[in-house]
Structure 1
Amino acid sequence: MELQETNLEGCFILHPKTFRDKRGSLTKIYHQDIFKGLGLDLSFKEEYFSVSTKGVLRGLHFQTPPMQHSKCVTCVAGSIYDVVVDLRKKSPTYADHFSLILDSKEPKMLLVPEGFAHGFVALEDNSVFLNRSTTVYSPECDAGIRWDSCGIQWPDMDLIISDKDSLMPSFKNYDSPF
């Protein structure tokens, strides 16, 4: 597995090895010792996936202390435009964002550290997003910021946004605990 830095400190793209033959392919997306060897000593506590139709925007979400978490995300079917925003006030990249396309044809993952908001847009129907987190979901610590308040250039398409995500506070009106 290869680790690639992004413009945001602590946020990495992970390129797993994919083995292909006439039957299809196999991609190992997590191996504890390999992660540790890359300096990523994380203990994942929860894993889930979502299935989205084209244009669904989910985000920008995060968990506040004491249930803040790091997570490793990927797309195992279809494709998504994935985005993170640095909410760490003392970080030199505070308020900056990073985006990339995650898709099932070229497997890669994004490691999102604590103190980041995360979201994505499904670029095709039946896109399957997989999330592995270092803490379990806590409704009391569930938070987010509006998807359109951080200067992110989202894909030019009709977006489908939940009422919950539409009502999140804007970035400038959110006092980050990180």
Structure 2
Amino acid sequence: MTSSGIPLVSLFKGAVYVSPLPEIRETEIPAVLAIHTPAFADARGFFSESYNRDTWAEAGFQEHFVQDNVSLSARGVLRGLHYQLNPYGMGKLVRAITGAVFDVAVDLRRGSSTFGHWVGRTLDAETPMWLWIPVGFAHGFVALRDDTRVYYKCTGVYHGNAERAIRHDDPDLGIEWPVPVEIISEKDGAAPFFKDSEHNFIYQA
């Protein structure tokens, strides 16, 4: 293990490169997944295969991504809570490539035992981990450091007419943001509360 806590993983078997399988863990809301990608570290730093369609499928994760996004935020910037209505629902695979965020997903699926509940994880550049937020969830994050870049892989493309948001400080949701929110867009600040929001997702077992 490196000083930053990254596990040492051999990526070579003999002289042949071996693509490692990610470690997929359910969160408190089982549909939201924390996905750890093994890293190989040495005196130069570390190397991690961030995403590989085939090995991820072998590990049980099969999603088709059609759009990638990157955002840059200073400490205290909050983005969210965002989602797109069906039929334009968008799943998001999210990680921090610089800095750190507290990343949150809120269950909007009617009929789910966790409807209206939230789950959060800290994502940072030092830890090779993704958070998977499927269709049917609102997503948002607050930056914990300056110069925080968040990378998203998305299963759908952006449709402005289907975009919706929920207030990050909704008391009914009770999200425990770990740092004060200092900057938020005018649009996000004017978003409705959860009880007044429009969403059309149905839980499917």
- Say whether the fold is shared (TM-score over 0.5): yes
- Tell me which residue corresponds to 2:88: 67
Q: How far is the alpha carbon of 1:158 from its aligned partner?
A: 4.4
2:150 is the counterpart of 1:122: no
Does residue 107 of the first structure (1) align with residue 128 of the second (2)?
yes
Structure with the greater relative contact order (CA < 8 A, sep ≥ 6): 1 or 2? 1
Aligned equivalents of 2:30, 2:23: Cα separation in 1: 17
Instruction: In structure 2, give the amino acid aligned to 1:61.
Output: H
- TM-score of the pair, normalised by structure 2: 0.84
Determine whether 1:57 maps to 2:102. Answer: no
- Residue correspondences, number: 178
Query: What do the CA deviations read for 1:94-114 (whole angstroms, capped 9, x no partner)?
Result: 001000100011121101111
Instruction: Give unpaired runs (5+ residues) of structure 1.
Output: none
Report the Cα offset of residue 26 of structure 1: 1.5
Identity of aligned residues (%): 38
Alpha-carbon separation, structure 2, partners of 1:158 and 1:120: 10
Query: Is contact 1:9-1:93 (8 Å) kept?
Result: no
Give the one of 6, 14, 25 matched to 1:4. Answer: 25
Aligned counterpart, 1:165: 188
Instruction: Give the greater-gyration-radius structure (CA).
Output: 2
| Between 21-30 and 75-84, the greater mean CA deviation after superposition | 21-30
Q: Indicate conservation of the 8 Å contact 2:76/2:179, yes or no.
A: no
Distance in 2 between the 1:163 and 1:92 partners? 32
Distance in structure 1 (CA, Å) of the matches to 2:90 and 2:56: 16
Which residue of the partner structure matches residue 108 of structure 2? 87
Amino acid at match of 1:166: G
* 3-state SS of 1:55 partner: coil
2:77/2:182 contact within 8 Å kept: yes
1:137-152 mapped onto 2 (5 Å cutoff): 137-149=158-170, 150-152=173-175
In 2, Cα distance between equivalents of 1:107 and 1:146: 29
What do the CA deviations read for 1:35-63 (whole angstroms, capped 9, x no partner)? 21232211100001101001000000011
Confirm or deny: 8 A CA contact 2:78 2:181 kept in the other structure: no
Deviation at 1:172, TM superposition (A): 1.1
Which segments of structure 1 move beyond 4 Å, counting only runs of 4 or more?
none
- CA deviation vs aligned residue, 1:147-171 (integer Å, no higher than 9, x gap): 1112101123242111010011100
Cα distance in 1 between the residues matched to 2:189 and 2:99:
24
Q: Which moved further from structure 2: 144-153 or 17-26?
A: 17-26
- Three-state SS of the structure 2 residue aligned to 1:160 is coil
Partner amino acid, structure 2, of 1:133: C
TM-score (norm 1): 0.96
